[in-house]
Amino acid sequence: MTSEPCDACGESVRIAGGIANIWSFTHEPSGGMTIEFPTGEDFFLCFQCLDALPEDATAADVATFVAAGGYEL
């Protein structure tokens, strides 16, 4: 396990070391994942921030969200 700050809220998020551990996400009270867009942008977000985003968020939506500081807004 390692940790990485959420791009939006800055919270340190525990992440699994490899894709083989992806199922562990469902059991973690906190966590996050990287979302990638076809345009090449990618963002690492905690699940609180992911939950706050609309499901059809575009890369521009996420960039705005990240710039605004994340889910607490």
Percentages of the chain per state (helix, strand, coil), in multiples of 5: 35, 25, 40
Q: Considering the complex, what minimum distance in angstroms separates the CB of residue 55 from Zn ion? A: 17
CB 35 within 8 A of CB 50: yes
H-run or E-run covering 5: strand 2-5
Which is closer to Zn ion, CB of 20 or CB of 48? Answer: 48
Which is closer to Zn ion, CB of 46 or CB of 62? Answer: 46
Which is closer to Zn ion, CB of 31 or CB of 70? Answer: 70
In the complex, which residues of this chain contact Zn ion (CB under 5 A)? 6, 8-9, 46, 49, 70
